[in-house]
């Protein structure tokens, strides 16, 4: 199990726990004392969200969709039902809408009001996805945000921004990169990044694997 | 509410701070706040933490980290619902003579609770006001309470792309009021309708909107 530092300090040499760490510890012991939370249930949940649910789930879904046109059709029609075939489910997974990026359409996901994100496929969101600037700018200047994050979208490609605010959660089905025709599911899934499934990057082949 | 959380289109909010390998949690206490919120949600005393997060004063909201906001909202809900008193929370210990509860979420149910896909869609028949392809306008609503209508859609014209089905209206349902079951529509707004001629005429913003947020255009 991954161990996280007890403090969010980036310097890593602080030994005094941060103020929120102390407050959470106090809250947790109060709730356990009152019988309101089961410490074993907390451990289960921590393990689940720290180690079990994450972008590898989404990458497998993408690889399967690239290889199996029938699965892709089902995925685009009803994301929640299709990912259940692979055993993926959970909160923030209802009404999963998978949007396909093509040579003429690029999709990108944001939540302007909070941090809506497809937990069952990507885990919990990274800090930058929840940053004020990403939430503010992506709906109004998606091309500028993408350029800043290293992705230039040509003028003749349509950009579609998906602001998740209701029950729907979104996942981008990125384009399969050329030169991957011989790869199987696991090798394809290994190429698919969290950024590509949010829509702020393309899937690329590592330089060493390019022919 | 017209709060700081409703950020779509704002300027001057700093850097995105993108990093490809950014972890979901930056400190051990963050994932524990997340787990506490899940465990306590099982009591059904609040529908979502969002209204309390949105009620954080703007300057505080911007200063706090993401999970500090969760923690603040969770503490408010615990205190308001009576699960614990503010004095107990402050002390980190129960009042003398407290009555011990039975945890609402036990370890054997935790995984199931987290991995069950919720069914928020309501199995009730409600009249559809808009059809796919119809032009609609964002209503000029300014509630001072919770809403899932971003202000950038107000007064703007879009096209209904899809009918998502029937859902409770969060504006009232989140406070345990009238759920007002109604259709939610996926609406497509042209980027230049929302942001003017400086935006690419090719681009669009898609957003799900409850029927009450819309009027015919």
Please tell me the predicted confidence (pLDDT) of residue A8: 45
How many structural domains comprise chain A?
2
Quick check: B76 pLDDT over 50? Answer: yes
pLDDT confidence band for B215 (50 / 70 / 90) = very high
Q: Which residue has the tokens 């990458």?
A: A59
Find residues 54-73 of chain A whose CB sits inside 8 Å of chain B. Answer: 54
Q: What is the pLDDT of residues A101-121, one digit of tens each?
A: 999 999 999 999 999 999 999
Q: Which residue has the tokens 């929120």?
A: A20
Residue A145 belongs to a domain: yes
Residue B68: list chain A partners with CB under 8 A: 20
Q: What is the pLDDT of residues A68-106, one digit of tens each?
A: 999 999 999 999 999 999 999 888 878 899 999 999 999
Catalytic residues of A: 111, 114-116
**Judging by beta carbons within 10 Å of its beta carbon (0-12, 13-18, 19+), is residue B13 exposed, middle or buried?**
middle
**Judging by beta carbons within 10 Å of its beta carbon (0-12, 13-18, 19+), is residue A62 exposed, middle or buried?**
buried
Q: Which uninterrupted H or E stretch holds A140?
A: helix A132-140
Among partner residues B102, B109, B203, which is closest to A35 by beta-carbon distance?
Answer: B102
Q: In terms of CA atoms, which chain B residue is nearest residue A131? A: B16
Do A61 and A47 lie in one domain? The reply is no
* Range(s) of the domain holding residue A38: 19-51
Q: In terms of CA atoms, which chain B residue is nearest residue A123? A: B24
Residue A170 belongs to a domain: yes
Average pLDDT over residues A2-30: 71
Do A30 and A99 lie in one domain? The reply is no
Domains present along chain B, CATH in parentheses: 28-115 (1.10.472), 135-216 (2.30.30.50)
Please tell me the predicted confidence (pLDDT) of residue B61: 97
Identify the CA nearest to A93 among candidates A65, A117, A127: A117
Do A142 and A197 lie in one domain? The reply is yes
Residue A35: list chain B partners with CB under 8 A: 100-103
Do A115 and A149 lie in one domain? The reply is yes
- Determine contact, residues B183/B165, Cβ cutoff 8 Å: yes
Average pLDDT over residues A149-167: 96
Average pLDDT over residues B159-185: 97
Enter the DSSP assignment of A48: I
- On average, the pLDDT of chain B sits at 95
| Alpha carbons B54 and B144: distance in angstroms, whole number | 10
pLDDT above 90 coverage of chain B, percent: 93
Triad A10, A111, B179: Cα angle to 5°: 125
Quick check: B113 pLDDT over 70? Answer: yes
Quick check: A12 pLDDT over 90? Answer: no
Long-range contacts of B163-166 (CB under 8 A, 24+ apart): B163/B128, B163/B130, B163/B131, B163/B132, B164/A95, B164/A166, B164/A167, B164/A168, B164/B121, B164/B208, B165/A95, B165/B121, B165/B122, B166/B121, B166/B122, B166/B123, B166/B124, B166/B125, B166/B126
Long-range contacts of B72-75 (CB under 8 A, 24+ apart): B73/B49, B74/A27, B74/B33, B74/B36, B74/B37, B74/B40, B74/B49, B75/A27
What is the token pair recorded at B184?
């939610």
Domain harbouring A147, CATH code? 3.90.330.10
Tell me the ipTM for this assembly: 0.96
Do A110 and A154 lie in one domain? The reply is yes
Q: What is the pLDDT of residues B9-42, one digit of tens each?
A: 999 999 999 999 999 999 999 999 999 999 999 9
Do A72 and A44 lie in one domain? The reply is no
Do A43 and A72 lie in one domain? The reply is no
Do A45 and A129 lie in one domain? The reply is no
**Judging by beta carbons within 10 Å of its beta carbon (0-12, 13-18, 19+), is residue B4 exposed, middle or buried?**
middle
| Alpha carbons A50 and B109: distance in angstroms, whole number | 18
Do A60 and A44 lie in one domain? The reply is no
Decide the pairing of beta strands B157-167 and A96-100. Answer: unpaired
SS3 state at B136: strand
Residue A36: list chain B partners with CB under 8 A: 39-40, 43, 83-84, 101, 103-104
| Residue that wins the pLDDT comparison between A18 and B153 | B153
Please tell me the predicted confidence (pLDDT) of residue A91: 82
Contact call for A162 and B26, based on CB within 8 A? no
Instruction: Determine the distance in angstroms separating the CA of A81 from the nearest CA of chain B, rounded to an integer.
Output: 10
Do A40 and A87 lie in one domain? The reply is no
- Determine contact, residues A79/A99, Cβ cutoff 8 Å: no
SS3 state at B169: coil
Contact call for B75 and A27, based on CB within 8 A? yes
Do A119 and A43 lie in one domain? The reply is no
| Alpha carbons B157 and B140: distance in angstroms, whole number | 12
Specify the range with the lowest mean pLDDT, choosing from B7-11, B64-68, B116-120: B116-120
Do A67 and A123 lie in one domain? The reply is yes
């Amino acid at each position: 199990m991954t161990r996280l530092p007890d403090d969010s300090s980036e310097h890593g040499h602080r030994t005094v726990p941060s103020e929120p760490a102390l407050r959470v510890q106090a809250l947790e012991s109060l709730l356990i004392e009152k019988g309101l939370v089961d410490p074993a249930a907390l451990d289960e949940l921590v393990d689940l969200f720290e180690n079990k649910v994450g972008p590898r789930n989404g990458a497998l879904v993408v690889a399967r969709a690239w290889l199996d046109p029938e699965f892709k059709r089902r995925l685009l029609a009803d994301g929640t039902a299709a990912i259940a075939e692979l055993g993926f489910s959970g909160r923030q997974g209802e009404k999963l809408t998978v949007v396909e990026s093509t040579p003429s359409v690029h999709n990108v996901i944001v939540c302007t009001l909070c941090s809506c994100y497809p937990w069952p496929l990507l885990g919990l969101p990274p800090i930058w996805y929840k940053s004020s600037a990403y939430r503010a700018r992506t709906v109004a200047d998606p091309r500028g945000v993408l350029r800043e994050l290293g992705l230039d979208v040509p003028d003749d490609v349509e950009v579609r921004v998906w602001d998740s605010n209701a029950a729907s959660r979104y996942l981008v089905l990125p384009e399969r990169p050329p030169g991957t025709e011989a790869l199987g599911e696991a090798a394809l899934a290994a190429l698919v990044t969290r950024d590509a499934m949010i829509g702020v990057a393309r899937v690329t082949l590592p330089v060493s694997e390019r022919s | 509410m017209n709060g700081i959380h409703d950020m779509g289109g704002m300027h001057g909010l700093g850097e995105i701070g993108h990093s490809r390998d950014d972890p979901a949690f930056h400190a051990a206490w963050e994932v524990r706040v997340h787990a506490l919120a899940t465990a306590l949600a099982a009591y059904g005393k609040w529908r979502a933490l969002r209204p309390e997060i949105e009620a954080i004063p703007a300057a505080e909201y911007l200063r706090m980290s993401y999970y500090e906001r969760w923690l603040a909202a969770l503490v408010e809900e615990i205190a308001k619902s009576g699960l614990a008193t503010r004095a107990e929370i402050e002390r980190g210990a129960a009042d003398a003579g407290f009555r011990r509860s039975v945890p609402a979420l036990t370890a054997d149910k935790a995984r199931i609770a987290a991995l069950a896909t919720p069914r928020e869609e309501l199995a009730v028949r409600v009249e559809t006001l808009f059809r796919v392809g119809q032009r609609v306008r964002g209503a000029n609503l300014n509630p001072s309470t919770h809403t899932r209508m971003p202000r950038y859609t107000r007064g703007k014209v879009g096209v209904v792309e899809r009918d998502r089905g029937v859902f409770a209206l969060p504006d009232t349902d989140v406070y345990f009021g009238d759920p007002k079951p109604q259709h939610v529509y996926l609406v497509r707004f042209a980027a230049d309708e929302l942001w003017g001629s400086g935006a690419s005429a090719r681009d669009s913003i898609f957003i799900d909107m409850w029927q009450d947020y819309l009027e015919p255009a």
